[in-house]
Amino acid sequence: MPKEKTEPFLIRPIQETDLDAVFNLASQTGPGMTSLPADKAILEAKIQESINSFKINPTKPGNESYRFVMELDDKIVGIAAIRARVGGFDPSYSYEICKARHQSEALGVDKEVEYLKLSKEHKGASIISSLFVSPDYRSMGLGQYLSQARFLFIADFPERFTETITAEMRGVIDEAGRSPFWEGTVRHFFDMGFEKADYLSTKDKGFIADLMPQYPIYIPLLRDSVIEVIGKVHDKTKPAMKFLEAQGFARDGHVDIFDAGPRVAVKTNEIKTIKKSQAATLEIGMDIGAALVSNSKLDFRVKLVSGAMTKEDTDSLNLSQGEEFRYV
């Protein structure tokens, strides 16, 4: 049954033993969430990738990936991730919304026309992804805490991330799993349905380079039903979009190549949670008010604390007297 209030939770790095629980979450996401596919082999690889990323100490962001889960009621009820940098050996694709000016002095015409330009990034910005909370627990507002936990990790380990953080928001997909944008544009080049292409992209993006149209797509030439979904977010993604906008994220003029969902970005040091967070040295019993607290360690832990820091709080956060922590 859905919960009516926030109960004690713990956010931590994902572990190998979380595979079944994470697969159960992934099975509830629906189409369009490529970063969290309902495929055990892919999820197992993503979990191992995250474990390996926490073990190393990079001096600059590379292809590391950090995944976190939320525990509540002895269950894994949510998941979220950060990738240190998109691109690398496996490039990141998007459509950039551009404008072309068409002029004719003879006719007195001066008009701007929008078009979609294929963009390929090999060394892009850090990206947050995979935010998902079990539907049974959504009424508790847990998604915001999961998202903020990622920002606390970035604040604690800034050298692992770029100066800009981005997020790709899920675009409009109907109840049958069809993307109006896909159906009206790139499907003509792929000869397959949206869900199949979406799934294949989680395994290997090479086919995108082979099949994507390389020339600009002029937006006014598309059907109205296609134009109206460009840059729109999925209904289930609207709360996440609203939260990120409140954190300082804004659209950066790029949309997804499959569903045309918008990409948002912000300078890392301008993220509201990071700006407002504070580092402190632990004294058992110290009162920090009502706050979201991280232990500032690679063995990362985050929980809500209300009032004085109790031994139960510090034990669950793996914190000892005199150690540094961060709170917001």
Are the CB atoms for 256 and 171 separated by under 8 Å? yes
Residue with tokens 């977010």: 233
Cα–Cα distances (Å) from 168 to 1, 240, 324, 328, in that order, read 30, 11, 33, 25
Q: How many CA atoms lie within 13 A of 306 on its CB side?
A: 4
Distance (Å, whole) CA 244 – CA 228 = 22
Let me know how long the chain is.
328
Q: Quick check: helix, strand or coil at residue 101?
A: strand
Active site residue 234: yes
Question: Exactly one of 122, 188, 234, 254 is catalytic; which is it?
Answer: 234
Torsion on CA atoms 119, 38, 140, 314, rounded to nearest 10: -90
Q: List the structure tokens of 325.
A: 């922590």
Q: At residue 259, what are phi and psi to the nearest 5 degrees?
A: -115, 0
Positions marked catalytic: 234
